[in-house]
Amino acid sequence: MTDILYPKATAVWLVEHTSLTFEQIAEFCGLHPLEVNGIADGEVARDIRGADPIANGQLTREELDRAGADPKYRLKAQASRHAELLKPMKKAPKYTPVSRRQDRPDAIAWFVRNHPEVTDAQLSKLLGTTKSTIDQVRNRSHWNSSNIKPVDPVSLGLVGQLELDALIFKAAEKKAKDDAKKGVISEGPTLRPAHETGTVDRDDNAVLGEDGEE
């Protein structure tokens, strides 16, 4: 059976406009017969407007008439053009022009030096490279290591600035969460201990240094 659009809305329409059995409607719409029964009783999908499966190309009038004349007949859905348009499209693998492929090691080196929080998986997906190449650049075992220099991937034309910013933000956010789970406190400006900065005499509010002088 072909998946149909708006199964409950279609069931509502079939209940309201046909004499099909609950079992026929349920099987066509991928619902349980009790759900269809609930629709007929007004207990289910009360706020859902019916969707005509004939109008949206998922069912022919002839098929509907055939099912109406035989309670044991099971409706066969047509492949809907609308359904095909709504199917999620697979994202094509990232393609890097041949002329730009020699720039990828430079971009990898830039990430390794400036943004180690970006994972190899994220980097591989962003630049269209392999984890093996990333390891070779990081370990300086790449065949062209002597000529690799860190260069911003945006300057190289491998990615857009917005795409780069989004990736770095996502990677930093993930690292912060992972560190928090491990109880690691991120580095940053901290207050120096009192014995290093001097102590405050609460009586006269004077700041005393390490030698005890004001």
Contacts 24+ apart (CB under 8 A), 46-49: 48/8, 48/9, 48/12, 49/9, 49/12
Mean pLDDT, each 10-residue run in order, the chain (214 residues): 75 92 92 90 82 86 91 82 51 52 86 92 89 92 90 87 89 84 56 39 42 45
Tokens at 66, concatenated: 């055939």
Which residue ranges make up each domain of the chain? Answer: 7-86, 98-182
pLDDT at residue 1, as a whole number = 43
Total-model pTM: 0.42
Give the residue from 55, 64, 56 showing the smallest Cα distance to 5: 56
| pLDDT number for residue 14 | 94
